[in-house]
Structures are given as C-alpha cells and as structure tokens.
Structure 1
Amino acid sequence: MKKILREFLPLLLIGMVLFACKEGKTFKVTGNITSAEGDTLYLEHRGLAAVSVLDSTVLKNDGAFSFRQPAPENPEFYQLRMGGKIGVFAVDSTEILRISADASDWYNSFTVEDSPTNNQMKEVDALTRVAARSIAGLEDQHKAGSMDDMAFIGQLDTTLQQYKTAVSKLILGNPSSATAYYAVFQRINDWLIFDPYNKQDYAMFGAVATSWNRYYPDTERTKHLYEFTMNALKTRRKQEQQAQLFENIPVEEGMGLPDIVLSGVDGRKVALSSLDGKVILLDFVVYSADFSPKHNIDLNNLYGRYHARGFEIYQVSFDSDEHFWKTAAANLPWITVRDQRSVNSTLLATYNVRQIPTAFLINREGDIIARIEDYGQLAGELDKVL
C-alpha cells in the first residue's frame, strides 16, 4: 500500500498543479439579478464578428448566478442578457466580478461592483444615451419644420462636440484600457460618433491603437483595431490631398473637379459639366437661411453685368424643404438645383465646404481658380477671368 502511494503521490501532485494553473486562467462572474425569478440569464461574448453565447442559467428566487470562463489575453467585452435587456462589461484577465441588477430597472441598476473600468464604461454609456436622445430631439424638430437647416447643423455640432469633449478625457486618461477601446467605437444610429476619417477624431483612434499594440501585441482585437486605424489614416490622407484642390489657389491645370448632377426646379437634371466653356460660379447655399435674400440680390446684380460675357451660376441648395426651395428659386435667372440629402449631403465633404454660403469660381477650361467665402471679392475675380 505504501509503495502504491509513493508511486501515485507524484502524479497526484502534478495533477493538482496542472489543475491549479488551469483554474488560474479563468475569470468568474457572479452576482444577483432581482425581480427575475424563472428568467434565463445568458453570458455572452461580444466578439469582433458576432455575439456568441457562452453559458446560461435559470434564475431562482434569490436571483443568484455564477459563470466561469477562460481568461482573455487582452481586455475583452462580455454581456449579460435577459430577454431584451443587455448589460455590457469588460474583463481584464483573471478577474472575479460581482454584478447586480434589478430586472425592473435594468439599465439604471446594472452595476459591476468595485471595478473602475466598468464604472467608466457605464459613464460612456450614459453620455451616449444622453447624446442620442438630444440628437433624436433635434431631428424631430428639423423634420417638423420648427428648426431650420442652419440651426439644426449648429446644434447637432454642439451636441457632438460636448459628447466628444467629455469622452475624450476618459480615452486619453488611459488609452490602453477597455474603456478607451469601448468609447471610440460608440455609435448613434449605426454611425460612429468618433469619425476615424476626421483629423481630430482620428487622434482618439490613434492613441488607443498605439497603446493596445504596445501592451497587447498580436492579439486578434489589437490587430483589428490597428488595421482599422491605419486604413482610416490612408483614406483620410487621400481625402486631404483631394481637399487641397479646393483650398489652394490656383489649382493645378487639368485637375478637373467632381461633377454634380442634380434636379432643377422643373425636375430635369442638370450637370455642372454641361456648362463647359463658360466661367462658372459654383455656389453652395441654403435658401431658408437669413442671409439668402440679400445673397441672391447681390448675385443677380453680378449676373446681369457678366452673363452676356459668358458667366453662369450653378447654385446648389441644401434646403430640406423642397417646396420652400422651389418657391424661392422659381424666378432666379441662373441654374438652381437641390440636393435632397440636405445637411447629410456628401457634396459638403467632397468640396470641403466649411460654411454656408461658399462658392468656387471655375474658368472656361474647367479649373477652379478661386474659393469664394467673401462674396465682396467676386466682382474683382470675375474682372480678372472674363
């Protein structure tokens, strides 16, 4: 018997060590969900490609639950789901997390105890919900006609900037954290709030990608983030090169410019390129704005002076109210078209329009020779080219 124990004991000890190592590479989620007796609680992984179910349990009267899973290589994202209720949390390696919630007030009561990272993620969620509600309210006012296009653009920008200011502090405070990764990928209406193609927003992605690449190299999530960020950088640099076409005066000859084909007041489509051979003022406006009446009166004076010499105006409206635009544009002597996408038009980004009104003066060869933001300079520019 003693011989058997002597032979078996080393194997037993090795087994215990291996078991202990295996146990050390797990994380545990435990807690209580009240007001949910008989409901099924799921533990799910929020992967890069999809959400996958890891485990589940039927809650009893006390709402107690406990899940154990292999520890991730990097900060990873999981969720507890019960019906349509979802609570997101992060796990950093071998943790024991205690989570509590009241099913009758899920989002306000969902709490990961003693976890600064998850507290910050909850703060990001709260800020995102506030911004989403604010934007939804602005969209409703805009659609109802109680807010004009210019006011909508201004207030939307203010809402987003306030959100970004608050969340940027959390990101830059610890860019290698789960909170930072979680924050840069927040969405409203399926759109990323931080735009990786915007120079200022890109800095947030760059900071997180650099930190994760340093602390969690070669992991799947880090590779995805780094590739996403680098691709955005390449795209943004191409956009910046294109934008220089509209910033630099004069531009290189023969570069040309993106064509525009939109419908006029009579419903027929008119292409900007159809005016080849004329000196063109490409004018971006909003007819419902306060500046519009005086703006068009001033343009009409110039049009009367220069039209016979080969001057034409191609005026693009971003008014959301089609009827208002048609009424205002009906008697104008130049070409007026409307982009029905209004403030969401890609033309604003394509032509790098930072303010309304903005115009570009195009010579007979189709090259941009001036960017017009101060319309008082337009007559002088026309005298040079006509």
Structure 2
Amino acid sequence: MSTIRMAALALLGTTALPTFAQQKMPATRRAPAPNFAVSGQLSHAPAGTRVLLATAGRQPVVLDSAATDAAGRFRLRGAVPGPDVYVLQVRGQRPTTGLALAPGSRLQVRADAAQLWRTGEVTGSAEAAALSALNREHARLMAHIEELAQQRGQTADTAVQRRIQRDWDATMAAFGAANLRLARGSSYLAPYAVYTYLSGVGSDVAFVDSATARYARQWPASPYTKKLLQLQDRRRATAIGQPAPPVVLADPQGQRMALSSLRGQYVLLDFWASWCGPCRQENAHLVQLYRQYRAKGFAVYSVSVDSKKADWLKAIEQDGLTWPQVLDEPGERSVAANSYDVMEYPTTFLLDREGRILAKNLSGAALDKKLAELLP
C-alpha cells in the first residue's frame, strides 16, 4: 500500500468517518427491541454534551443519542441487525471513532470528548477492545508521521533526510503490521480491517484475495466481506486486457460525454481532483504530452471527483487543460468508486484504440516511455 494511502486511512477516525446529526429511523416504522447498550464517561464534556451513535457510510443513520450528565456520563441503547463497525461522535467535535458493536453488546467507553479516536478505551467485548486499541495505535503512529513530515520540511541536510526517511518507513511498516494483526484474527473485525486498510491501490492482491475467500466461508453476511467480493469483481473488470467499463458524465457545459467517443485513439483515463497536489503536478506533465502526441492519436479523458464545481472549473483554467473534462457523480453513483475502484488520486488507466485496458497508473517518465513505444 502506498504511503499516501496508508497515511490517509490512518486518519479514518478524524477525517473519513462521517459527521451525522439529522437522519434517523422513520418514526412510522416500529422500532425493534433494544439489543445493545453503550455506557461511558467523557472528560472535558460539560453537562448536556450530546453523544451520538450511528451507522457508518455515506448516509449514516443515527441509532441513538444522549446528553452527558455533570460527570460526563452517558448511556446509549438501540438495536443492530448484526456485528459491524459503527460510529461514535460527540456533537460539535469533528473527530469520530469506530465502535465494534454486535447484538447483545454491553460496552463501556472512556475517552476525552475532543479526542475520541486518539483516547477512546472500550471494554465489554474482545472485538470492541481490539478496535479501540487499533484506533489508539493508529493515532500514535500518525502523530509521529506528522512530526516527521514537519522535520522533513525544516531541513535540507541529506543525512538528516535519510534518517527521517528510515523512521518514516519503519512507522508505515508498523501501520501495516497493526492492520495485519486484526486482518488475520478470528473475529468479525478481520474483513473490516482488510477492506478499510489493506485493499487500496498498491495492496497485496494475493493476500486480499486469500483473505476474502476465508471471510466468505466464515463471515458471508459481513458487509465488509460483501464489499471485498464486490471489490474482486471490480478488479477483474478493470484488469489488463479487459474492456474499460463505460463512463458517461457531464462536461463543464453540462453536456454528457462518453469515454467511448474517443475510441480509435490511445486514451489516458485520468481520475483527479483540484485539491490533489500530485494530480496538479501531473497535470503540467500531461499538458506537454498532450501537445506532443495529440496529432499522433493520443487523447486524455479526465474525470474529476471534486465536490465543488467551481473549484474544478478554476483548476481546469489554471492548469491549462484543453482535453475532455467531466465531473464524477457523488455517492452511490460514483464512477470512480463503483466502476473503477479508485481509492487514491491520481489514478490512471491507459486504453488501446479498441478501448481495452493496456496499463494502470502510468505517470511521469513511465508514461513518456509507453507513449513513445505506442506512437513513435
């Protein structure tokens, strides 16, 4: 797994889990009998601080919420259909944390209200304790990565840079080891660990495939087992030699444009975003390649995952991008996530003249070399 991917996922507790407040189970639906209870005590939580528990995902549903008393104590109750990772949040605080919860769980939480992910200690089940320990380990390692990044920007000394890089590599290896311990375990958290932390671009595909086969036997109903099986399907669909899955999205003028409209040329399908620094750097290189090879039969089809159209349009203008640009659809209809399994940016697919996938994630000198071979 790449350093960027691993570091980003390590921040799951502070950035990737959703903020939620409004969506609840419909009042007209008869609520199932409670089958779990979560009690806890938070420091730095004045009386009336709201604590919420919800499902994870793009459209979280609040299972229960409660206000703390003067001592920071709270209690949550509700019903869950099966073992899964849910999300605990203090309203008004951005950091959230994953909570391993199953029917019958009786959990106890102790944490700093402003640092749930970094400080949360959960008891009451082996799974909940293991996940909270992993969260704290991630937080500790991530703090060290942030410290190393700061040091790296403050020195030009080659020897110091080498020392920082060795420390960085060792810390990232520790991330991987912590995730593997959970992935190789015998609890329902194993599929969660593989899907969330170990299945990104550059991952060990053989390990992910073997783990998925085991999970399909042991935990076929796990939502993460199902996601891993879907991931395998998407990877097979985007393997070298396969026809590129169709893409039809809107350009800056709102007109729908199909990837297949560029058939007959060598096409670089490029997933990017205006906020992605490496994407913007690669854009400058693509501008040069496009000028050099366009007349010879090279095309680019860029798919932005920007959430703000204005930011996307501004980046197109600033970077001087003159090839076809389209904007991805958010949520469940996302082409990047659902058809191409794109989990980091930039991600590219080079297509042949018939629309088959020739190569993946070519950039810089590697892309130069490939185009020189194809279009001498």
TM-score by length of 2: 0.50
Q: Does 1:118 find its partner at 2:121?
A: no
Match of 1:226 in 2: 229
Partner Cα separation in structure 1 for residue 40 and residue 283 of structure 2: 60
Which of the residues 238, 241, 244 maps onto 2:240?
238
Change (3 A) 1:273 1:33: closer
The structural deviation recorded for 1:156 is 5.2
Change (3 A) 1:231 1:103: same
Q: Does 1:170 find its partner at 2:179?
A: no
The structural deviation recorded for 1:158 is 4.7
1:90 counterpart letter in structure 2: A
Which of the residues 88, 103, 126 maps onto 1:93?
103
Change (3 A) 1:28 1:358: closer
Match of 1:40 in 2: 49
**Structure 1 gap segments, 5+ residues each:** 1-21, 187-193, 243-254, 277-343, 368-386
Partner Cα separation in structure 2 for residue 29 and residue 177 of structure 1: 19
Match of 2:142 in 1: 132
Q: Does 1:213 find its partner at 2:223?
A: no
Partner Cα separation in structure 2 for residue 63 and residue 126 of structure 1: 21
The structural deviation recorded for 1:229 is 3.8
Q: How does 1:300-339 map to 2 (within 5 A)?
A: none
Change (3 A) 1:110 1:68: same
Q: Deviations over 1:229-288 (max 9, x none)?
A: 4313543x328999xxxxxxxxxxxx9897999669xx9778554898xxxxxxxxxxxx
Q: Deviations over 1:135-166 (max 9, x none)?
A: 43454455556377x95877655543332133
Find the residue that maps to 2:139 and give its secondary structure.
helix
Q: Does 1:67 find its partner at 2:76?
A: yes
Bigger relative CO (Cα 8 Å, ≥ 6 apart): 2
Match of 2:323 in 1: none
2:185 counterpart letter in structure 1: G
Q: Deviations over 1:71-129 (max 9, x none)?
A: 32233423142431534311122221122335477556522124221222123223322
Match of 2:201 in 1: 197
Match of 2:196 in 1: 185
2:181 counterpart letter in structure 1: K
Find the residue that maps to 1:118 and give its secondary structure.
helix
Partner Cα separation in structure 1 for residue 170 and residue 195 of structure 2: 19
**Structure 2 gap segments, 5+ residues each:** 1-31, 245-264, 270-281, 297-344, 349-358
Match of 1:53 in 2: 62
Partner Cα separation in structure 2 for residue 271 and residue 154 of structure 1: 40
Find the residue that maps to 1:238 and give its secondary structure.
coil
Q: Deviations over 1:293-352 (max 9, x none)?
A: xxxxxxxxxxxxxxxxxxxxxxxxxxxxxxxxxxxxxxxxxxxxxxxxxxx876896449
Change (3 A) 1:218 1:211: same
State the number of aligned residues.
252
Change (3 A) 1:226 1:144: same
1:232 counterpart letter in structure 2: R
Change (3 A) 1:352 1:76: same
Change (3 A) 1:121 1:239: farther
Partner Cα separation in structure 1 for residue 166 and residue 294 of structure 2: 34
- Matched-pair contact (CA < 8 Å) for 2:36–2:80: yes
1:119 counterpart letter in structure 2: A
- Matched-pair contact (CA < 8 Å) for 2:52–2:91: no
Q: Deviations over 1:205-247 (max 9, x none)?
A: 4355434433443565543342134313543x328999xxxxx
- Matched-pair contact (CA < 8 Å) for 2:84–2:100: yes
Partner Cα separation in structure 1 for residue 347 and residue 79 of structure 2: 46
Find the residue that maps to 1:124 and give its secondary structure.
helix
Change (3 A) 1:180 1:131: farther
Find the residue that maps to 1:68 and give its secondary structure.
strand
Match of 1:315 in 2: none
Partner Cα separation in structure 2 for residue 238 and residue 216 of structure 1: 30
Which structure carries more helix by proportion? Answer: 1
Find the residue that maps to 1:173 and give its secondary structure.
coil
Change (3 A) 1:160 1:141: same
Q: How does 1:283-294 map to 2 (within 5 A)?
A: none
Match of 2:19 in 1: none
Change (3 A) 1:230 1:38: same
The structural deviation recorded for 1:44 is 1.9
Change (3 A) 1:204 1:41: farther
